[in-house]
Structure 1
């Protein structure tokens, strides 16, 4: 994030929440602890205000940009992690009530629709000022959420058809 602009840990927390936090979970404490490690490693600098709250502002150094370039060039073949409470509940639905399964499907359908709509709005907003890679990231978010939304819509239809027969 510091590649875009110098920032305080609070700034980083806000930026992450509205950008990469959509697909990469961060402990907020990490955004306060990690800059100190990066300063110690010589990848970023730290400037502390002399008065007031003594805010710490971090800025990336050339060595940090080089480390970022190296990281970007490494192979990325790890399995995508999916942590979805709705899928976990669906897996164990055999031990619940049929009405609960239908309610779960409706809740998850609505949640994924809202998330897709939110991503679509972010994509439209980002298109005005962000780089194309940030826009592509959000575009994948839209597509993913629409795909999962469709899964739950199909499942709702299946459950409703079973109820009618």
Structure 2
């Protein structure tokens, strides 16, 4: 995130929340701990505000940009991990009531529709300022959410035709 410009840990948290936080979950504490570790490794610099709250601002170094480039060049062969509580509950649905299954499907449909709608709004807000690769990640997120939204909609229709 520092490759986009210097930031405090709080600013990093804001950037992540609007961008990669949509598809890469991690503890917010990492945004406070990791910059100090990267500074100690020489991958970022740290400047501390003289007065006030003594905020620390981090900036990527040339060595940090090289490490980022090396990481980007590494093969990415691992499987995508899907951790969806709705799917997990559906898997164990044999132990649920028909009302629980219907509620699950309705809630998941609404959730994915809302997230996809949010991505549509986000795209409209950032299209003029985001780079091509950021827009591609948003496009995949939108496609994913619309596909999963449609799955739950189809499942709701199936439950209407053939109740459990």
Query: RMSD across aligned C-alpha pairs, in angstroms?
Result: 1.1
> Counterparts in 2 of 1:67-78, with a 5 A limit?
67-78=67-78
Deviant stretches of 4+, over 3 Å: none
How many correspondences in the alignment?
164
3-state SS in 2 of match to 1:3: helix
Match in the other structure for 1:160: 160
Q: Distance in 2 between matches of 1:26 and 1:101?
A: 30
Q: Distance in 2 between matches of 1:50 and 1:111?
A: 45
The answer to whether the 8 A contact 1:6-1:57 is kept is: yes
> Counterparts in 2 of 1:10-159, with a 5 A limit?
10-159=10-159
Q: Distance in 1 between matches of 2:143 and 2:125?
A: 17
3-state SS in 2 of match to 1:24: coil
Q: Distance in 1 between matches of 2:47 and 2:103?
A: 52
3-state SS in 1 of match to 2:3: coil
The answer to whether the 8 A contact 1:43-1:62 is kept is: yes
Q: Distance in 1 between matches of 2:117 and 2:26?
A: 23
* Structure 1 unpaired stretches of 5+: none
Deviations 1:66-86 (A, max 9, x none): 100000000001111111111
Q: Distance in 2 between matches of 1:125 and 1:136?
A: 15
Q: Distance in 1 between matches of 2:125 and 2:137?
A: 13
What TM-score results when the alignment is normalised by the length of structure 1? 0.97
What TM-score results when the alignment is normalised by the length of structure 2? 0.97
Q: Distance in 2 between matches of 1:13 and 1:37?
A: 16
Match in the other structure for 1:4: 4
